[in-house]
Amino acid sequence: MGTASGTRSRWGLRTLGLGYLALLLLAPLVMIFYKTFENGLAPPLEAITSADGLHALQLSLLMVAIAVPLNTIFGVGCALLLVRHKWKGNSVIDAVINLPFAISPVVIGLSLFLLYGTKGWLGPTLSEAGIEILFSVPGMVIASVFVSLPFVVRETVPVLQEIGTEQEQAASTLGANAWQTFWRVTLPAIRWGVAYGVVLTTARVLGEFGAVSIVSGSRSGETETLPLFVQKQFDNFNTAGAYGASVLLAVLALTTLLAMNVLKRKEDA
Amino acid sequence: MEAHSATASATRAGIRLPWVGAGLGRGTVVLYLSLIVLLPLAALVSQSFEGGLSTFWTQVTSPQAVRSLELTVVASLIVVAINAVFGTVIAWILVRDDFPGKAAVNAVIDLPFALPTIVASLTLLALYGHESPVGIDIGLTRTAVVVALLFVTLPFVVRAVQPLLIEMDREMEEAAASLGASGFTVFRRIIFPNLLPGLAAGVALAFARALGEFGSVLIFAGGLPDTQVSSVFIRTQIESGNDTGAAAVSVVLLVASLLLLAVIGLIQRWGNRHERSAAAGLTVMPMSGEDFTEKGGEDGDR
């Protein structure tokens, strides 16, 4: 089909598609870096290394350190149950796992706000026991776990279905117990799928804004993660601060993209 | 003979959850999901009906709530329509075209999934706001809502259509072309119907995402009465202490999410019947189209 009109329409589609991507994706990405370093390295660096900036970074990393392992263990276990153990309730579990994908982060934040608030079902009881969930770190962790819950399950289920059970059968025939089979046979076979889910979970936790902003109260130096820090700095007309933190998050996002591509290739190989 | 088959059935299912029985595992999963997901949502629904059905209705139909819901739905519809077209075009050039840097373009498609929404909002304002270096000032307008939503929902259609294009059998197209069908006819009669399950799933996922989007809209479009989408409206209601109003509008969004999830489930079942999983290649929102109750492997509790 090397006709002139074929070539023309090919160039037309190419220009259309790439032009759209340039305007919508590439230009904003370039803009973050341009705006950040417009006045040199000092202003953004100063913002990130300020006490509040560093605290926000630490808190973001803490969210990752708690939410990611929790959702990874849950995700792998849940995927094993869904794929390998037939049960009437599996389709319900499957449906509930998809909920965080479809629900607005603000709705998630509000739900937690109402449950753990002073008039909520759990708030007063926990408060009496000296446990504060709302406007403190535990509430932010719960919000992070909620929004990032589906990724590991969703990435692990198809891989588990694909690998089948032959190797595991062989292992158990040779006398391996379930625990040994899981570590030596199953986990190595699904590792790239799980890793891919972990990367997505991490990216989501690092970037979460809506849900966390509602349950955290956004107190600088106390309950402020990096995305909340970005908004606070913007509201305070400290654009250097906002961009400094943004560039950090953008670099993490680009690293995520890189990791996704490497892992996808390993998974397909 | 009997002993032999007993061993076989004991190992046939492959690994089960190590160290715990399926029952304990199931209990843990149900408890986790209930505590993290279901209990908070139940609290939300309960709060929204605290003043009875009439209060719920008054809150949902207040002028500002209706305005925000209208804006959210209309903007989302515009956005999915535009991204359905451009998403398909982009998927097409990524699969059928070849140009330098294609791998990089393919990788950057997922950027909106990886970039925090608040960062997206900030840069879109810098780029297309009042200080725009390219002279386009749409900041704090309804157009900004649309552009922000275009950004965050871009990957869905691309990633849903791409795998279908890769798998598509090109013999049919060649046969049609050799019989004299024009390029457009081949697309309309052969390619498009094959892409439809993926396109529909991608559009539904993008729509769900657009309805609830918050961060990317916040800075770029602002929270003006005129540019307030529902999620921003909910936020203002929380801040002004109107928990019931916030919860009522949230329940409307929640119901929309549930309906869309159901629709996506149906689309995927339909896509699977066409021998392909409609969203098999979705990188961030892959839903299993599997019906676990029918073929979930061996039963652990026999």
Averaged confidence pLDDT in chain A? 91
Question: Cβ contacts of residue A125 below 8 Å, gap of 6+?
Answer: none
Q: How far apart are CA B120 and CA B223, in angstroms?
A: 16
**Got the DSSP string for A159-219?**
HHHHH-SHHHHHHHHTT--HHHHIIIIIHHHHHHHHHHHHHHHHHHHHH--HHHHHHH---
Residues B124 and B151 sit within 8 Å (Cβ to Cβ): yes
Q: How far apart are CA A18 and CA A22, in angstroms?
A: 6
Segment A9-24 shows an average pLDDT of 93
Segment B78-97 shows an average pLDDT of 96
Q: Nearest-CA residue of chain B relative to A260?
A: B107
Tell me the per-residue pLDDT of B42-82, one tens digit each, with 9 for 90 and over: 999 999 999 999 999 999 999 999 999 999 999 999 999 99
- Angstroms from A187 CA to nearest CA on chain B: 11
Q: Which residues 155-194 in chain B show a CB within 8 A of chain A? A: 177, 183
Residues of B whose CB is below 8 A from A206: 116
Most B CBs within 10 Å: which of A10, A14, A25, as the mutation test of the B interface?
A25
Residues of A whose CB is below 8 A from B151: 24-25, 28
pLDDT of residue B131 exceeding 60, the answer is yes
pLDDT at A82: 92
Tell me the per-residue pLDDT of B152-211, one tens digit each, with 9 for 90 and over: 999 999 999 999 999 888 888 888 888 988 888 888 888 999 899 999 999 999 999 999
- Determine whether the interchain pair A85/B265 forms a contact, defined as Cβ–Cβ distance below 8 Å: no
Q: Which of A178, A50, A158, A24 is nearest to B112 (CA)?
A: A24
Averaged confidence pLDDT in chain B? 85
pLDDT at A3: 61
- Angstroms from B274 CA to nearest CA on chain A: 18
Q: How far apart are CA B75 and CA B152, in angstroms?
A: 13
Residue tagged 């601060």 (tokens): A241
The answer to whether residue B247 neighbours chain A at the CB level (below 8 Å) is yes
The answer to whether residue B110 neighbours chain A at the CB level (below 8 Å) is yes
pLDDT at B15: 59
Most B CBs within 10 Å: which of A88, A103, A251, as the mutation test of the B interface?
A103
pLDDT of residue A107 exceeding 90, the answer is yes
Q: Which of B134, B160, B131, B136 is nearest to B147 (CA)?
A: B136
pLDDT at B274: 62
The answer to whether residue B136 neighbours chain A at the CB level (below 8 Å) is no
Of B36, B38, B111, the CB nearest to A29: B111
pLDDT of residue A232 exceeding 50, the answer is yes
Distances, alpha carbon A16 to alpha carbons A11, A20, B87, B89, B91, in Å:
8, 6, 11, 8, 12
Least confident of A171-175, A240-244, B31-35, B99-103: A171-175
Q: Interface pTM (ipTM) of the complex?
A: 0.93
The answer to whether residue B218 neighbours chain A at the CB level (below 8 Å) is yes
Reported as half-sphere exposure (CB side, CA atoms, 13 A), residue B245 has a value of 21
pLDDT at B268: 83
Structure tokens at A37: 């370093």
Most A CBs within 10 Å: which of B4, B11, B15, as the mutation test of the A interface?
B15
Most A CBs within 10 Å: which of B9, B34, B113, B119, as the mutation test of the A interface?
B119
Q: Which of B107, B200, B122 is nearest to A21 (CA)?
A: B107
pLDDT at B8: 38
Q: Which of B20, B232, B40 is nearest to A209 (CA)?
A: B232
Tell me the per-residue pLDDT of A31-86, one tens digit each, with 9 for 90 and over: 999 989 988 888 888 888 999 999 999 999 999 999 999 999 999 999 999 998 88
Residue tagged 């400290």 (tokens): A238
The answer to whether residue B258 neighbours chain A at the CB level (below 8 Å) is yes
Q: How far apart are CA B59 and CA B249, in angstroms?
A: 7
Reported as half-sphere exposure (CB side, CA atoms, 13 A), residue A71 has a value of 36
Q: Nearest-CA residue of chain A relative to B124?
A: A28
pLDDT at B182: 85
Reported as half-sphere exposure (CB side, CA atoms, 13 A), residue B292 has a value of 24
pLDDT of residue A221 exceeding 70, the answer is yes
Segment B2-13 shows an average pLDDT of 41
Structure tokens at A107: 């709705």
Reported as half-sphere exposure (CB side, CA atoms, 13 A), residue B150 has a value of 23
pLDDT at B286: 44
Structure tokens at A216: 């955290």
The share of chain B scoring above pLDDT 70, in percent, equals: 84
pLDDT of residue B32 exceeding 60, the answer is yes
Tell me the per-residue pLDDT of B146-157, one tens digit each, with 9 for 90 and over: 999 999 999 999
The burial of B225, by beta-carbon neighbours within 10 Å (0-12 exposed, 13-18 middle, 19 or more buried), is given as: exposed
Q: How far apart are CA B251 and CA B42, in angstroms?
A: 10
Q: Nearest-CA residue of chain B relative to A76?
A: B17
CB count in 10 Å sphere of residue A39:
12
Residues of B whose CB is below 8 A from A243: 122
- Determine whether the interchain pair B43/A120 forms a contact, defined as Cβ–Cβ distance below 8 Å: yes
pLDDT at B285: 44
Q: Which of B272, B250, B97 is nearest to A214 (CA)?
A: B250
Of B43, B253, B283, the CB nearest to A104: B253
pLDDT at A227: 96
The share of chain A scoring above pLDDT 70, in percent, equals: 98
- Determine whether the interchain pair B213/A99 forms a contact, defined as Cβ–Cβ distance below 8 Å: no
pLDDT at B99: 92
Segment A214-234 shows an average pLDDT of 92
pLDDT of residue A103 exceeding 50, the answer is yes
- Angstroms from A109 CA to nearest CA on chain B: 9
The answer to whether residue B55 neighbours chain A at the CB level (below 8 Å) is no
A148 against B10, higher pLDDT: A148
pTM (predicted TM-score)? 0.90
DSSP 8-state symbol, B18: T
